[in-house]
Amino acid sequence: MKLASIDNKTRDGQLVVVNKELTRAVKVPEIAETMQTAIDNWVETESKLQSVYEDLNTNKLSNTFDFSSVRVLAPIPRAYHWADGSAYVTHVELVRKARNAELPESFWTDPLMYMGASDAFIGANDDIEIENEDWGIDFESEVAVITDDVPAGINSKDALNHIKLITIINDVSLRNLIPNELSKQFGFYQSKPWTTFAPVVVTPDELDGSWNDGKLHLPLNSTLNGRLIGSPNAGIDMTFDFGQLVAHASKTRSLMAGTVIGSGTVANQGSPNGSSCLAEVRCLEIVNNGKATTPFMSFGDRIEVEMKDKSGKSVFGKINQVVKEYKK
């Protein structure tokens, strides 16, 4: 099934069930008012939401509305926990190669992960508001999952059973702020503004076999100002699957229902189908030509991120954003 949250003038939005074509939706307050409530009580709500989804797709419901006519929020507009990994080590390897830095051998066996800001996520059509273009504005196209309650110390195989919802995100980075932050050896903060989510999240069974072994085997398309930057397959060259990422995040503590785990920038070895961020484009230019020539994003730029299934239909809907100057 497919779920979303729409604007109802509250912080957490109104949970809706969306049809397969992403054209019609229905509110389900009798089941759950919000996405967090639904995932908190997933054992009770899943089958009820699934029943509504089936009726919606067979036109048995009369109280539906045009999904394109409403403002979509992030499917989970704020979460108790958001952790982003770097599951595509080939991407990290390229970035380090561009600055003549050696990749530690442990990167291939122990995932990189940081905790991000989850007090607010933004919707697929919301502007990316940044104060200064000189901060190096970059998109990062990723896959993300949402879990139910995960016990501490779980193994990666069992962790897969706790992944209930899947989507794609744009995890914006301010590249020129990153070096100073990392030099303090205390992680990201100012360099990671709010993260953007696709319009809908879907259950694994909605992916028709493209979800396999904790990986989503479909191309992820990133288009900047009408030009395709890349469409790497998210299932290829993913060093750590989502079971491993969830297990890593829960090594020393439990994860609460509604925890969001990101894959990190989707990348394929050698970038044969392009890239999922401008930093990778620039690293390839440095490696191949000695210097980067592609600029980071500017005010007025439009970034679109979308994943289509094997028949060419949008799975999660499109992220479609414009970079705007933040006005104080």
In the prediction, which pLDDT does 297 show?
98
Tens of pLDDT, residues 128-179 = 999 999 999 999 999 999 999 999 999 999 999 999 999 999 999 999 999 8
Is the full-model pTM beyond 0.75?
A: yes
Answer whether 146's CB lies under 8 Å from 46's CB.
no
pLDDT 10s digits, 250-274 = 999 999 999 999 999 999 999 999 9
Tell me the Ramachandran region of residue 209: left when phi exceeds 0, alpha when psi lies from -120 to 50, beta otherwise: left
DSSP state of 274: B
What is the C-alpha to C-alpha distance for residues 283 and 153, in angstroms, rounded to an integer? Answer: 37
pLDDT along the chain (328 residues), means of 10: 98 98 98 98 98 98 97 98 96 88 90 94 98 98 98 98 98 95 87 97 96 97 98 97 98 98 97 97 95 97 97 97 94
Q: What is the pLDDT of residue 97?
A: 87
Residues with Cβ within 8 Å of residue 12, at least 6 apart in sequence: 5, 33, 34, 35, 36, 77, 78
> Residue 101: its pLDDT value, please?
83
pLDDT at 214: 98
